[in-house]
Amino acid sequence: MGNSYKTIAFYQDKCDGCGDCVPACSMHHTGTTDPAHSRIKVAKDAEENSFGIALCRQCGQPQCVTNCPSGALSKDVSTGVVKWDKDKCVNCQLCTLACPYGGITCNALTDQVMKCNFCDGDPACVKACPRGALEVKQVASIFNAWGDLEDLVVPGLSACLGCNSEMLLRHTLRRIGPNVVVATPPGCIAGVGSVGFNAKTGLKTPVFHPLLTNTAAMLSGARRYYKRIGRDVTMLAMAGDGGTADVGFQSLSGAAERGEQMIYICVDNEGYMNTGVQRSSTTPYGAWTSTTPVGSVLRGKTRDAKPLPLLMVMHNCEYVATASTAFMEDYYEKLGKAIEAAKKGMAYIHVFSPCPTGWRFPTGKLIEVARKAVETNMIPLWEFELKEGRIRFTHPVDNPIPVQAYLSLIGKYKHLDEKQIAFIQEQTKRKIGVLKNFAREDEREQVSNAG
Amino acid sequence: MDHTKYLIVGSSHAGISALDAIRLQDKEGSITLVTQESCLPYSPTILPYVLSGQARPEKIFLRDQQSLDDLSVVFKPGTKVMALDARERQVTLQSGEKIEYEKLLLATGAAPKRPPVQGLEAVPHHVLRTLEDALTLRSKIRKERTAVVLGAGLIGLHAAENLAKGGMKVVVVEALSQVLPGYFDEEASQMIFRAFSDNGVKILLNEKASRVKGTDEETTLSLASGGSLSAGLLVVATGVQPRVEILKGSGVEVDQGILVDERMRTNVSGIWAAGDVAQARGFFESSKILNATLPNAVEQGRIAGMDMVDDPALKEYPGAVGMNTYKFFGHRAFSVGMIRAEAGCEVEKVVVPESFRYQRLVFKEDQLVGASGINSDLDPGIMYQLVRRKAYMGDVRTRFCASPLDVSRVMMTSIWR
């Protein structure tokens, strides 16, 4: 499996064109501030008042390398940096024709090409940027850490095309590992074949199929049994929103209150998808389902979703988090914390899981839907640790995009009128306000002072 | 008989790119890479620099034996393919041996074209296509004092410049009315022409050699316009032609080059072609064209390799865009896309003679279709992307023309994904 490496990310909306990165780069490489030596260039489109940068992206499959006739350019497989060897370079400049980013340019003073060498991992331009427009970023770093581990789900499940839940199941088990007992109550996770067909299970780990009503209760018993025989085995529930927020809620609530040791993951696709797209208590306001139809009077669901993650915080769970498959690193980190928390009590993760089949959007848009839900603040990503006593946003969105950018991607919202959209926008703002109250540090201090 | 899953004939850019693309998907399938060259893979593009001494011959190789071993590639240098039997899926080598393949990539490149000059076959002359050519020509630099170069294309001009820098008196003979007609318009070509004159290289335009005779010591050319030229050294650089000799009777369709589709497939199942030998769709033209450039060989090779392993990420070949970079006498030039402003095209040109700067943008409707420059700061790669992505230029065109460097970089930042 390939590696993921660090690169320098550029946030166009944060750049004000100050150009501080340019002399910082020149200084690092040549000891002078002459911009001619800078490997990073700032460009300004005066009319649009927007800025761009020309800078090497340290591509995974760099075309400058394949276009080089002298072998002077190469990708360092240990650091990921695209290296330039002055001795081998014949200065033909074909690399400048290959690079789509203006990342390798001709230095007019030396009459040679030059490119970013990532300053040995600590780029001067990033440190010089006063507005955070440049950032050292590692994309898909989870693959370096977890990519070689075994996929504990068999190939060839019967999930719908483009199913988010299948992806989630594979990632979750890869991270948690084989020392686990999995409970998948009726719902999509069981339906895709995790509990199997023809007496063969779909997982390479122990898995069972509880009733919708008793998932958390059965796992409580299983955990207690393993503890009794002296084995530390992780208990994992992968349940849908119906099995969690509706039918399974009383046993989950009871287990949480008793502090039962398990990881309970709610795969929230906002309805009963495998039985024909009926509403659940986490179906959001305005959504079409087969039981909240759209006609001349009804315009989708009239009530909003139950705030289940917050309810679990109120149960004093060891760990509660929300997650999204568009932010996989974030999810992996939360799983890591959940594994630890489940040794002490309940860890609850609520994963937002868009459903191409039931929500009516093309499978290719899955990750975009998941990402836009977060970027609109409709699905904020946060976590709660009991010892911290407050919510912490793991991907704060300070300037959310309008909810319409998310809603318009999805068929189940296509009937919404302006009034409904305005209502959803308003509710999103209200809900994020409530969460922010739970996230305040000063409140916690007051509480502890009082205590 | 040797059997291999993938057989790649030709070990320059197209062959190497295909090799990498195949190994990305198929870690185990056997790959055999054959080349008639007797050394490790290298790029013909490096040869002018071997001639100039800038590149040391022992350091020009694109791959070493270790990296080929790491990819489990059976590399066979000095192996010339003589014939192809497409029905039996086997090739015959010069040694008489045969190799049986499942999938074959023809990346045999191109050979120097000889112009129809009476007496040329009988006269000792140089070309610049292989490492051996470059080393032979290099060995002559200090021995000869005068040279004639036929052809003012990239190879001809590179050769002429390097010979001149080696102290020789050089005359270039070009049949057309300008140098580098494939890459620059007349005005840019005149600037390049001037740089050569200023450095003592004489270029005769609209001129042809009609007859040539000579010995190892001296060659004499009779010129079409009358008069004659004598020189110690004759270099022929009048273009290249695809190497397709082995395909006679094979059933593989050949026009000027091997005809391929958007996945570099030939008309025969199990056989692909890529690079200088292939004739594929043009980006602007509806017909299939040759495009013997390095970037094109890389791209075609990658597409062929991806198709040979059914890589689902394959994107079909969008068509050949003419492009290159060119350094001469301390100046740098580039060219991307359309050169001739055909009907419906508009040209925005900036020429600053004092600083020897030249920049030319060609638009058609709402798109950039060509860009070229001499000592221009524009990023050739970004220009190429704008052409190839058919980026919409409608609203931005005025300010793009006013400051193309900045606006193109901002566009790139905003729209590339």
Query: What does the pLDDT look like over B97-112, one tens digit per residue?
Result: 999 999 999 999 999 9
Check residue A2 and give its pLDDT: 64
Check residue A48 and give its pLDDT: 82
Tokens coding B239 = 């273009």
Residues of A in contact with B381 (CB under 8 A): 96-102
Distance from CA of A323 to the nearest CA of B (A): 25
In this structure, is residue B320 part of a structural domain? no
Nearest residue on chain B to A73, alpha-carbon basis: B62
Report chain A residues touching chain B, CB-CB < 8 A: 10, 12, 41, 43-48, 50-54, 63, 66-67, 69-71, 87-88, 90-94, 96-102, 105-106, 108, 111
In this structure, is residue B176 part of a structural domain? yes
In this complex, which of B298, B324, B409 lies closest to A41 when CB atoms are compared? B409
| Same domain as B231, residue B152 | yes
- CATH assignment of the domain containing B220: 3.50.50.60
Contact flag B414-A98 (C-beta cutoff 8 Å): no
| Same domain as B213, residue B152 | yes
Residue (of B144, B136, B141) closest to B217 by Cα position:
B144
In this structure, is residue B313 part of a structural domain? no
Quote the CA–CA distance of A260 and A183 in Å, as a whole number: 15
Q: Which of B236, B266, B286 is a domain's end point?
A: B236
Structural domain of B167: 120-236
Total count of domains within chain B: 3
In this complex, which of B45, B406, B409 lies closest to A69 when CB atoms are compared? B45
Quote the CA–CA distance of A14 and B24 in Å, as a whole number: 37
Distance from CA of B136 to the nearest CA of A (A): 20
Residue B407's alpha-carbon distances to A45, B349, B389, B415, in angstroms, are 5, 17, 16, 12
Residues of B in contact with A101 (CB under 8 A): 381-382, 412, 416
Size of interface A-B (CB pairs under 8 A): 130
DSSP state of A364: G
Q: Decide: residue B398, CB within 10 A, 0-12 exposed, 13-18 middle, 19+ buried.
A: exposed
Check residue B417 and give its pLDDT: 64
Instruction: Please name the residues in contact with A221: beta carbons below 8 A apart, sequence gap of 6 or more.
Output: none
Q: How far is CA B201 from the centre of its chain?
A: 24
Contact flag B325-A100 (C-beta cutoff 8 Å): no
Handedness of CA B336, B409, A4, A118 (dihedral sign): positive
Tokens coding B165 = 């820098």
Residue B216's alpha-carbon distances to A361, B139, B150, B234, in angstroms, are 75, 14, 17, 10
Residues of B in contact with A102 (CB under 8 A): 379, 381-382, 409, 412
In this complex, which of B298, B377, B407 lies closest to A45 when CB atoms are compared? B407
Quote the CA–CA distance of A237 and A172 in Å, as a whole number: 11
Residues of A in contact with B408 (CB under 8 A): 43
Quote the CA–CA distance of A355 and A289 in Å, as a whole number: 12
For chain A, the first-to-last Cα distance in angstroms comes to 52
Tokens coding A359 = 């929500």
Q: Which residues of A165-181 are buried (b: 16+ CB within 10 A; e: fewer)?
A: bbbbbebbbbbbeeebb
Question: Which runs of consecutive H residues, i.e. helices, occur in A282-417?
Answer: 308-314, 328-341, 356-359, 366-375, 404-407
Average pLDDT over residues B314-331: 95
| Same domain as B143, residue B59 | no
Q: Contact, B253 vs B266, CB < 8 A?
A: yes
| Same domain as B221, residue B141 | yes
Quote the CA–CA distance of B405 and B382 in Å, as a whole number: 9
Residue written as tokens 């360092």? A76
Q: Contact, B68 vs B35, CB < 8 A?
A: no
Q: Contact, B367 vs B390, CB < 8 A?
A: yes
Contact flag A52-B61 (C-beta cutoff 8 Å): no
| Same domain as B229, residue B252 | no
Distance from CA of A231 to the nearest CA of B (A): 40
Check residue A445 and give its pLDDT: 54
Residue A440's alpha-carbon distances to A405, A443, A449, in angstroms, are 29, 6, 15
Q: Contact, B11 vs B103, CB < 8 A?
A: no
Contact flag B412-A101 (C-beta cutoff 8 Å): yes
Q: Which helix (H) or strand (E) holds A84?
A: strand A82-84
| Same domain as B248, residue B215 | no
Contact flag A93-B412 (C-beta cutoff 8 Å): no
In this structure, is residue B314 part of a structural domain? no
In this complex, which of A46, A66, A99 lies closest to B381 when CB atoms are compared? A99
| Same domain as B297, residue B344 | no
Contact flag B334-A67 (C-beta cutoff 8 Å): no
CA angle B78-B79-B84, nearest 5°?
160
Q: Which of B208, B236, B264 is a domain's end point?
A: B236
In this complex, which of B325, B377, B385 lies closest to A92 when CB atoms are compared? B325
| Same domain as B220, residue B72 | no
In this structure, is residue B35 part of a structural domain? yes
In the predicted structure, residue B285 carries a pLDDT above the cut 90 = no
Check residue A198 and give its pLDDT: 77
Distance from CA of B54 to the nearest CA of A (A): 6
Q: How far is CA B44 from the centre of its chain?
A: 8
Check residue B340 and give its pLDDT: 85
Residues of A in contact with B413 (CB under 8 A): 10, 12, 43, 51-53
Quote the CA–CA distance of B147 and B162 in Å, as a whole number: 11
In this complex, which of A43, A97, A101 lies closest to B323 when CB atoms are compared? A97
Quote the CA–CA distance of A116 and B37 in Å, as a whole number: 36
Which stretches of chain A drop beneath a pLDDT of 50?
1, 449-451
SS3 A293: coil
Residues of A in contact with B54 (CB under 8 A): 90-91
In this structure, is residue B163 part of a structural domain? yes
In this complex, which of B336, B379, B412 lies closest to A105 when CB atoms are compared? B379
Tokens coding A264 = 């309970």
Query: Which of the four pLDDT bands, split at 50, 70 and 90, describes residue B144?
Result: confident
B72 conformational bin, left if phi > 0, alpha if psi -120 to 50, beta if neither: left
Residues of B in contact with A47 (CB under 8 A): 399
DSSP state of A287: -
Q: Which residues of A296-321 are buried (b: 16+ CB within 10 A; e: fewer)?
A: eeebbbeebbbbbbbbbbebebbbbb
SS3 assignment for chain B: CEEEEEEEECCCHHHHHHHHHHHHHCCCCCEEEECCCCCCCCCHHHHHHHHHCCCCHHHCCCCCHHHHHHCCEEEECCCCEEEEECCCCEEEECCCCEEEEEEEEECCCEEECCCCCECHHHCCCECCCCHHHHHHHHHHHCCCCEEEEECCCHHHHHHHHHHHHCCCEEEEECCCCCCCCCCCCHHHHHHHHHHHHHCCCEEECCCCEEEEEECCCCEEEEECCCCEEEECEEEECCCEEECCHHHCCCCCCECCCEECCCCCECCCCCEEECHHHEEEEECCCCCEEECCCHHHHHHHHHHHHHHHCCCCCCCCCCCECCEEEEEECCEEEEEEECCCCCCCEEEEEEEEHHHCEEEEEEEECCEEEEEEEECCCCCHHHHHHHHHCCCCCCCCHHHHHHCHHHHHHHHHHHHCC
Residue written as tokens 């091997």? B258
- CATH assignment of the domain containing B400: 3.30.390
Q: Decide: residue B96, CB within 10 A, 0-12 exposed, 13-18 middle, 19+ buried.
A: exposed
B45-88 residue pLDDT tens:
999 999 999 999 999 999 999 999 999 999 999 999 999 999 99
Residues of A in contact with B407 (CB under 8 A): 43, 45
Q: Which residues of A66-96 are buried (b: 16+ CB within 10 A; e: fewer)?
A: bbbbbbbbbbeeebbbbebeeebbbbbbbbb
In this complex, which of A67, A69, A87 lies closest to B46 when CB atoms are compared? A69
Q: Contact, A278 vs A288, CB < 8 A?
A: no
Residues of A in contact with B325 (CB under 8 A): 92-94, 96-97
Radius of gyration of the CA atoms of chain A, in A: 26
| Same domain as B126, residue B200 | yes
Contact flag B325-A106 (C-beta cutoff 8 Å): no
In this complex, which of B54, B295, B410 lies closest to A90 when CB atoms are compared? B54
Pick from A10, A11, A39, A106 the residue to mutate for testing the B interface (most B CBs within 10 Å).
A106
Quote the CA–CA distance of B84 and B7 in Å, as a whole number: 12
| Same domain as B226, residue B245 | no
Instruction: Please name the residues in contact with A249: beta carbons below 8 A apart, sequence gap of 6 or more.
Output: none
Distance from CA of A98 to the nearest CA of B (A): 5
Q: Which of B212, B236, B260 is a domain's end point?
A: B236
In this structure, is residue B93 part of a structural domain? yes
ipTM of the complex: 0.94
Q: Which helix (H) or strand (E) holds A24?
A: helix A21-30
| Same domain as B228, residue B132 | yes
Tokens coding B363 = 């638009």
pTM of the full predicted structure?
A: 0.79
| Same domain as B289, residue B183 | no
In this complex, which of A53, A90, A97 lies closest to B413 when CB atoms are compared? A53
B206-215 residue pLDDT tens:
999 999 998 8
Contact flag A54-B61 (C-beta cutoff 8 Å): no
In this structure, is residue B319 part of a structural domain? no
Nearest residue on chain B to A74, alpha-carbon basis: B62
Quote the CA–CA distance of B305 and A180 in Å, as a whole number: 42
Tokens coding B227 = 């008069």
